[in-house]
């Protein structure tokens, strides 16, 4: 696979191999399985990144039996716990010694005739389902109460059920139950030709359409050994940063909604709307869709006058964020709310602004540059406090950085073609990645011998950050819950896929 150093491992060797990766400073990113041939045992792959500008590390483990058992690595690298549970549900694998062996993606009562990501599984047939109780943590103590919140929640929040164990206003434990609207996006890629997959990637998470599509395109380009032309690479950066802008402004507005700062909410969402109008004039799509393709862009973009519009917006954004940072009623609700220690953020897999607000200075745009980021200065905002205020400050810093990157792209934008031919190479694999507004996105693609997809794996930031989030809720209080959740910028679509 492109841009990786690969190692093979037997199931018995996995724990020591994982420990060695962590010892040399690597951080696990994801794990996934696939069937190299229908009806054959699975291969499990573990992806880790190491020092900046170094190749990724890929650990391969091929099972010898269909009902193979692997040792759980969740006690060594806790963030792998959810990936193992996902493989347990969707591939029928078993992980010995897993600390949380209950289902994750498939709710209790699901009875699939085959693992859903087995190529022989027929997705058109409804999955058999029986009523079954939710697996809950044991409750001890007469004063402890249980509150199930959701899955239908107030306002426009996506479907999720949050269980609280609490006494009075104090939350002792938070237990999320997600995946109510799992769409099987990875399954939908099976059998498609690479040029047809962009439309799916753009819809994994609508608010991160560019980030998903770009990671997908770069994975296909890695498998096909093609490279986008220089102009296309610069325009890809422009699109990615325009997407980051409107996402972070929406985030700030929604955070104001939870602290009841109504004027701040209105202005943040008005500035978000201004950004989306610029997107529409630039590409025809407020969400910047239908522009990216493997090999470059579908069409060129007319950027005349964009710099003046961005500069005018820049002044308004600076005034807005300055007011947020001097509004005591808003800051009082954010400071010390939802504190996430750096070690917990690292161990549990925090991504994007969440990890950077807890002191982890990592950003794929700078550390593993793609598109034209290697030729552009990327200033990475980092805070150490790990609370809701730090998470907002990181996003404000990223807005300032995005505006500078957009200016630099427009100043240095080269002329030339915007497409390169991507010839499908049967049997090949590719890896692509981006740093979205919510964190790191990875796509791994595997082509079969006909040049169609045998497997597409999507690692999305909300899958990681939803796992981390409960650690900031335990021992907090009900009054801060909505603020804390908003400070994470979570999406269900990005998590459930």
Residue 466 has pLDDT above 90, yes or no: yes
* Residue ranges of domains in the chain, CATH in brackets: 1-123 (3.30.460.80), 188-334+363-382+395-461 (1.10.645.10)
Placement of tokens 């996934």 in the chain: 32
- The whole-angstrom separation of Cα 283 and Cα 294 is 17
pTM: 0.95
**String of DSSP letters for 82-120:** HHHHHHHHHH--EEET-S--S-SSSPTTB--SS-TTSTT
The DSSP code sequence of 213-252 is HHHHHHHHHHHHT----HHHHHHHHHHHHHHHHHHHHHHH
- 401 contact partners, CB below 8 Å, separation of at least 6: 378, 379, 380, 381
Enter the DSSP assignment of 395: H
User: Exposure of 253 by Cβ count < 10 A (0-12 exposed, 13-18 middle, 19+ buried)?
Assistant: buried
Q: What is the pLDDT of residues 151-198, one digit of tens each?
A: 887 776 788 888 899 998 999 988 899 998 888 899 999 999 999 999
Longest dimension (CA), the chain: 72
Q: What pLDDT shows up at residue 376?
A: 95
Query: pLDDT at residue 309 above 70?
Result: yes
Provide, rounded to the nearest whole percent, the portion of the chain with pLDDT above 70.
99
Q: Which residues contact 84 (CB under 8 A, 6 or more apart)?
A: 31, 70, 72, 73, 74, 93, 95, 98
Counted residue by residue, the chain has a size of: 497
The answer to whether the peptide bond before residue 151 is cis (omega within 30 degrees of 0) is: yes
**What pLDDT shows up at residue 288?**
97
In whole angstroms, give the CA distance from residue 230 to residue 216. Answer: 18
Q: Which residues contact 471 (CB under 8 A, 6 or more apart)?
A: 340, 344, 348
**Pairing outcome for strands 94-96 and 292-293:** unpaired
What's the confidence (pLDDT) of residue 313?
A: 95
> Tokens in use for 185?
């996006």
pLDDT at 402: 97
d(CA 294, CA 340) in angstroms, rounded, equals 38
- pLDDT tens digits, residue range 42-101? 999 999 998 899 999 999 998 887 667 899 999 999 999 999 999 999 999 999 999 998
Confidence (pLDDT) at 66:
66
What integer pLDDT is reported at residue 206 of this predicted model?
86
Q: At a CB cut-off of 8 Å and minimum separation 6, what does 456 contact?
A: 186, 189, 190, 197, 216, 443, 444, 445, 446
pLDDT of residue 24: 85
pLDDT > 90? residue 39: no
Alpha helices in 335-387 (DSSP H): 342-348, 353-356, 364-367
Judge whether residue 480 has pLDDT over 90: yes
Q: What is the pLDDT of residue 123?
A: 80
CA distance to 267, 395, 483, per residue, from 270 (Å): 5, 17, 21
The number of C-alpha atoms within 13 Å of 203 and in the hemisphere containing its C-beta is 12
Tokens of 283: 């590409």
Using alpha carbons, select from 440, 433, 240 the residue that is nearest to residue 354.
Answer: 440
- Measure the CA–CA gap between 237 and 216, rounded to whole angstroms: 15
Q: Which candidate, 493, 471, 459, places its Cα nearest to that of 176?
A: 471
Q: What are the beta bridge partners of residue 34?
A: 43
How high is the pLDDT of residue 385?
97
Q: What is the per-residue DSSP string for 133-185?
A: ---------TT-EEEEE-SS-STTPPS-EEEEEEETTEEEEEEEE--TT---H
The model's pLDDT over 201-217, given as tens digits with 9 standing for 90+, comes to: 999 998 999 999 999 99
Rounded to an integer, the average pLDDT of 360-389 is: 96
Task: Confirm if 198 and 213 have CB atoms less than 8 A apart.
Answer: yes
Mean pLDDT (the chain) is 93
Six token digits for residue 157? 């929040």
Residue 137 has pLDDT above 80, yes or no: no
For the cut 90, the answer to whether the pLDDT of residue 281 exceeds it is yes
**What is the tens place of the pLDDT at every residue in 293-307?**
999 999 999 999 999
Q: Alpha-carbon dihedral of residues 249, 252, 258, 261, nearest 10 degrees?
A: -100
- Rounded to whole angstroms, the Cα distance separating 10 from 17 reads 10
Residue whose structure tokens are 């943590």: 137
CA dist., res. 202 & res. 222, Å (int): 19
């Amino acid at each position: 696979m492109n841009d990786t150093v690969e190692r093979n491992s037997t199931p018995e060797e996995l724990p020591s191999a994982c420990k060695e990766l962590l010892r040399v400073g690597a951080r696990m990113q994801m794990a996934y399985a696939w069937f190299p041939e229908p009806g054959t045992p699975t291969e499990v792959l573990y992806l880790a990144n190491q020092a900046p500008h170094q190749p990724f590390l890929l650990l391969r483990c091929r099972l010898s039996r269909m009902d193979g058992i692997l040792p759980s690595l969740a006690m060594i690298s806790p963030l792998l716990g959810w990936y193992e549970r996902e493989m347990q549900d969707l591939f029928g694998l078993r992980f010995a010694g897993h600390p949380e062996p209950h289902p994750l993606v498939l709710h209790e009562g699901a009875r699939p005739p085959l693992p859903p990501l087995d190529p022989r599984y027929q997705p058109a047939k409804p999955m058999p389902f029986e009523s079954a109780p939710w697996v809950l943590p044991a409750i001890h103590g007469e004063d402890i109460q249980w509150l199930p919140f959701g899955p239908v929640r107030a306002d426009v929040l996506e479907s999720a059920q949050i269980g609280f164990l609490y006494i009075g206003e104090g939350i002792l434990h938070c237990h999320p139950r997600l995946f109510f609207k799992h769409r099987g996006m990875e399954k939908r890629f099976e059998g498609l030709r690479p040029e047809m997959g962009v439309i799916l990637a753009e819809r994994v998470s609508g608010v991160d359409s560019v980030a998903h599509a770009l990671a997908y395109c770069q994975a296909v380009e890695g498998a096909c050994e093609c490279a986008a032309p220089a102009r296309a690479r610069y325009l890809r950066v422009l699109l990615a940063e325009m997407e980051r802008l409107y996402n972070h402004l929406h985030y700030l507005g929604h955070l104001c909604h939870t602290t009841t700062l109504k004027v701040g909410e209105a202005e943040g969402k008005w500035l978000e709307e201004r950004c989306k109008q610029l997107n529409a004039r630039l590409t025809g799509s407020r969400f910047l869709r239908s522009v990216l393709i493997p090999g470059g862009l579908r069409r060129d973009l007319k950027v005349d006058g964009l710099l003046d519009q961005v500069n005018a917006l820049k002044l308004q954004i600076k005034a807005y964020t300055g007011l947020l940072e001097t509004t005591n009623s808003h800051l009082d609700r954010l400071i010390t709310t939802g504190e996430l220690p750096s070690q917990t953020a690292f161990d549990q897999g925090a991504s994007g602004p969440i990890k950077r607000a807890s002191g982890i200075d990592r950003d794929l745009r700078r550390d593993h540059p793609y598109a034209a980021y290697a030729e552009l200065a990327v200033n990475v905002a980092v805070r150490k406090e790990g609370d809701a205020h730090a998470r907002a400050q990181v996003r404000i810093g990223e807005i300032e950085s995005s505006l500078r990157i957009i200016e630099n792209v427009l100043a240095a934008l080269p002329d030339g073609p915007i497409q390169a031919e991507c010839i499908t190479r049967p049997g090949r694999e590719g890896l692509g990645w981006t740093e979205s507004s919510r964190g790191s996105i990875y796509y791994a693609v595997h082509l079969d011998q006909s040049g169609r997809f045998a497997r597409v794996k999507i690692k999305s930031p909300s899958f990681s950050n939803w796992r981390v989030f409960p650690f900031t809720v335990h021992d907090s209080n009900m009054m801060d819950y909505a603020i804390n959740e908003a400070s994470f910028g979570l999406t269900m679509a990005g998590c459930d896929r």
